[in-house]
Amino acid sequence: MVKDNIPDALIIEDDAILNDDFRNKFLTMLKHLPTD
């Protein structure tokens, strides 16, 4: 269920399973956030 809702990362308690390009997508997402 969680995997379908979050295609780039699966986080269960203190464990995380990330896709190979998760870091790149995450950095791109951060760049597009508003600065204020």
Give the domain range for residue 7: 2-31
Query: For residue 14, is it within any domain?
Result: yes
CA 26 to chain centre: 6
Residue 17 falls inside a structural domain: yes
Report how many domains make up the chain: 1
Q: Strand pairing of 9-12 and 15-18? A: antiparallel
The separation between CA 12 and the C-alpha centre of its own chain, rounded to angstroms, equals 13
The pLDDT tens digits of the residues spanning 1-36 come to 455 555 566 667 777 777 777 778 888 888 888 876
Within a domain: residue 6?
Answer: yes
Assigned domain for 36 exists: no
Query: What stretches of 1-36 show up as alpha helix (H) in DSSP?
Result: 2-5, 22-31
Measured CA to CA, the distance from residue 31 to residue 36 in angstroms comes to: 13
pLDDT score at 11: 67
